[in-house]
Amino acid sequence: MTTNRMRLAVITGSVRTGRFGPKVTDWFAERVRVHGLFDLDVIDLAATPLPAALPATAEELQAAHERPAPMAELAGRLREADAFAVVTPEYNHSYPASLKLALDWHYTEWQAKPVGFVSYGGFGGGLRAVEHLRAVFAELHAVTVRNTISFDGHWARFDADGRLLDPDGPEGAAKALLDQLGWWAEALRRARSVTPYQA
């Protein structure tokens, strides 16, 4: 990766058995590749289980070097990202507990970076999960972009191989989301390089 390239971490939030999330993530990751602005890092939370018990202090929380190797690696990948896209279902009108653990186990990694959302689920397309996540990311000093991608009735929108049956609308939405993430990622990276962010 060159110094001018930006890195987008695409995070699959669901770890549920039989989950649909990887299909949505794979589709969006391909849109990132086609868009061409970002280097891509796909993070599957199912590959890095996080303990439910958090450290007692903020200092212990930030001591990533003292974590088991997979957890330290995850923290490093989040730290290296210039932007995030969260792929989330809607569980009980909100987002998965696995995603909340990932947010709570990390703090400075999200700061002064943009976050976009790709959601799916039922009639609402996961939008209630997105609205809950916006408030959490604001507390973590991240900037959520306006545009989202939302799949209602997601099970009927993809074929067995994970291809969208009607791609035109979602592909346009993906480009708009990535354009916004790119603008914010570049602006915030430049700002962080001039003045380190203070929470």
Q: Would you put residue 7 in left (φ > 0), alpha (ψ -120 to 50) or beta?
A: beta
Q: Is residue 1 part of a domain?
A: no
With 0-12 CB in 10 A as exposed, 13-18 as middle and 19+ as buried, what is 104? middle
Question: What's the token pair of residue 53?
Answer: 């018990």
Q: In what order do the strands lie in the sheet with 83-89?
A: 38-44, 6-12, 83-89, 114-120, 143-151
| 3-state helix vs strand vs coil in the chain, percent to 5 | 45, 20, 35
CATH of the domain at 43: 3.40.50.360
Q: Is residue 198 part of a domain?
A: no
Give me the pLDDT at residue 49, please.
85
Asked, for residue 179, whether it belongs to a domain, the answer is yes
Per-residue pLDDT of the chain in tens (199 residues, 90 and over written 9): 345 799 999 999 999 998 999 999 999 999 999 999 999 999 999 998 899 888 888 788 877 668 888 899 999 999 999 999 999 999 999 999 999 999 999 999 999 999 999 999 988 999 999 999 999 999 999 999 999 999 998 988 999 898 999 999 999 999 999 999 999 999 999 999 999 999 8
Domain count, the chain: 1
DSSP-assigned states of every residue in 52-99: SSPPSSHHHHH-GGGS-HHHHHHHHHHHH-SEEEEEEE-BTTB--HHH
* Residue 78 in domain: yes
Q: Which pLDDT score is estimated for 101? A: 96
Q: What is the pLDDT of residue 2?
A: 41
pLDDT tens-digit readout, 66-120:
888 889 999 999 999 999 999 999 999 999 999 999 999 999 999 999 999 999 9
The answer to whether 45 and 98 are in contact (CB under 8 A) is yes
The answer as to whether 3 is a domain residue is no
Q: Is residue 199 part of a domain?
A: no
* pLDDT value of position 3: 54
Q: What is the pTM of this model?
A: 0.94
Asked whether residue 26 is domain-assigned, the answer is: yes
**Host domain of residue 45:** 8-13+21-53+60-192
- The answer to whether residue 2 is domain-embedded is no
pLDDT for 59 equals: 82
